[in-house]
Chains A and B, each alone.
Chain A
Amino acid sequence: MELKNDKFSKDMADIAGKIDLSLNDNQKTLSIVSVNKKTSQEVLTANLAVNWSRYLKVLVIDLNFGSEVFKSVFTVKSESAKMSDLLSAQKSVNLSAVGKTQFENLNFIPAGQVIDNVNLRLQSKFFSDMLTELKVEFDRIILNGIMTDNLNDQLVALKISDANVVVVSKTSAKKKQISKLATNMHDLNIESLGAVYIY
């Protein structure tokens, strides 16, 4: 994804820089979540990944099973690993099978098809071990959280990552939703790096 124009690319570079400064050395997995399914959080995910890939080895993992939100953004070979296959088979990820995108240093694992018990699978030891393995290979792993109105699904991505960023859209988010998410994060002791606002 090449950046659309100067203002947009400057904003994205600023956001990438701020998030980068907020992360500490131990925080390698970053989840991007939003309060409802209408928020275009994938725009932030993709642009963060592109910005960071200029000087870091970055992996984007999409958790939106059954949808292909990054289809027009990242070009990967069809035989590349998909999250649905990895979670269903419960086998270690073959690093050579992780899709390389058109951007240097930027890899991508698409979500793949819909699978059952997604939340349980994502919180399993298997997935935790897989992330640990990937952290050795990549400097930064971005989990594109499930884009849904279901709060519990959003919380899963927050729980399995080292850090998180909440994306808030002016046009689709409601105060009630963001308040509820913040309350749940507080109850679960999940700290957020902060919020990015789409206006």
Chain B
Amino acid sequence: MLKNITHIILKRIILIVTTVIIFIVGSIVYLQFLSAPTYKASVQMIANDNVDQLPVYSTLLSDNQTFTQSILSIAKKTDNNIKADDTKALSLSYTAGNPLFSISATSKNAKSAAELANVGAAYFAANVGKYVFGVNVSILTKAVVPTEPVRPKRSQVLMLGVIMGFFIGIALAFIEELFVNRSLDNDYVTNVIGFKDLGAFSLDKKNVQQ
């Protein structure tokens, strides 16, 4: 059985390889022309005291409309590409007990992501004290304009294309072998059905007179 399956795969290897190549080309086309890349920029910050308040900072950035609207209005003054939706992509990430945390922004535009992250972090450092009493945070490193998008990941999309192409190629090989090409050949009789090959002859005069 395994021998027969291997034989069908090897017999249709060109079909399988072609399918894989088509899927790889499709993945490249998708990455180059169809997918909109998303960039992410981060600002490294430090909580100078009261590390336990980090979860509150995170909520403040994600849930406080006044806070985010203020960041948006400041950022739009320097970058017209920033849209209202971009502020929803502002996030704060931290590790419990660690004073280091980061404020990140994602955007379809690399420069906008960096601008929004820097403005957001600066506004946050300057105004967090108004919302949480007696805290002090400062910026360690500013965000730089990212060069590589975070989505879609090129290697993952290409790998997915190869895997899908391989399995769909095998499926097509079996469909063609078992259903589409219904006429028999000697190879099918011997290697798929399992009859020993006892020979072949032709009744066609063209073949006979070779």
User: Chain B residues with Cβ under 8 A from A43's Cβ?
Assistant: 201, 203
Q: From residue 1 to 46 of chain A, which have CB atoms closer than 8 A to chain B? A: 4-5, 7-8, 11-12, 14-15, 18-19, 22, 40, 43-44
Binds B, one of A68-76, A86-94, A191-199: A191-199
User: Chain B residues with Cβ under 8 A from A54's Cβ?
Assistant: none
Which of A8, A19, A166, A193 is close to B201, meaning CB atoms less than 8 Å apart? A8
Q: By the criterion CB–CB under 8 Å, are B209 and A199 in contact?
A: no
Q: By the criterion CB–CB under 8 Å, are B200 and A199 in contact?
A: yes
How many residues in B have their beta carbons less than 8 Å from beta carbons of A?
26
Which of A14, A182, A199 is close to B202, meaning CB atoms less than 8 Å apart? A199
Q: By the criterion CB–CB under 8 Å, are B210 and A175 in contact?
A: no
With A5-B209, A198-B203 known as contacts, the answer to whether A174 contacts B198 (CB < 8 A) is no
Q: Quick one: closest B residue to A21, CB to CB?
A: B198
Check B156 for interface membership: any CB of A closer than 8 A: no
User: Chain B residues with Cβ under 8 A from A169's Cβ?
Assistant: 184
Check A178 for interface membership: any CB of B closer than 8 A: yes
Check B34 for interface membership: any CB of A closer than 8 A: no
- B48 to chain A minimum Cβ distance, whole angstroms, is 77
How many residues in A have their beta carbons less than 8 Å from beta carbons of B?
35
Check A168 for interface membership: any CB of B closer than 8 A: yes
Roughly how many angstroms separate A8 CA and B202 CA in the complex, as a whole number? Answer: 7
Q: From residue 189 to 210 of chain B, which have CB atoms closer than 8 A to chain A? A: 189-190, 193-204, 207-210
Q: Quick one: closest A residue to B196, CB to CB?
A: A194
User: Chain B residues with Cβ under 8 A from A8's Cβ?
Assistant: 201-202, 208
User: Chain A residues with Cβ under 8 A from B207's Cβ?
Assistant: 7, 199
Q: By the criterion CB–CB under 8 Å, are A196 and B183 in contact?
A: no
Q: By the criterion CB–CB under 8 Å, are B198 and A194 in contact?
A: yes
Check A176 for interface membership: any CB of B closer than 8 A: yes
Q: By the criterion CB–CB under 8 Å, are A196 and B184 in contact?
A: no
**Total cross-chain contacts (CB, 8 A):** 96
With A40-B203, A179-B193, A193-B198 known as contacts, the answer to whether A5 contacts B183 (CB < 8 A) is no
Chain A facing B: main interface SS = mixed
Check B174 for interface membership: any CB of A closer than 8 A: no
Q: By the criterion CB–CB under 8 Å, are B199 and A15 in contact?
A: yes
Q: By the criterion CB–CB under 8 Å, are B210 and A19 in contact?
A: no
Q: By the criterion CB–CB under 8 Å, are A170 and B199 in contact?
A: no
Roughly how many angstroms separate A174 CA and B198 CA in the complex, as a whole number? Answer: 19
Interface string of A57-73 (1 = CB under 8 A from B): 00000000000000000
User: Chain B residues with Cβ under 8 A from A12's Cβ?
Assistant: 201
Q: From residue 64 to 89 of chain B, which have CB atoms closer than 8 A to chain A? A: none
Q: Quick one: closest B residue to A176, CB to CB?
A: B182
Roughly how many angstroms separate A11 CA and B210 CA in the complex, as a whole number? Answer: 12
Nearest 10 interchain pairs by C-beta: A194-B196, A195-B195, A15-B199, A197-B200, A194-B198, A11-B201, A197-B186, A18-B198, A195-B189, A182-B193
Subset of 28 A-B contacts with CB under 8 Å: A4-B208, A7-B208, A7-B209, A8-B201, A11-B200, A15-B198, A15-B199, A15-B201, A18-B199, A19-B198, A165-B198, A168-B184, A170-B184, A175-B182, A175-B183, A175-B184, A176-B182, A178-B184, A178-B193, A182-B195, A193-B196, A194-B196, A194-B198, A196-B200, A197-B186, A197-B197, A198-B200, A199-B201
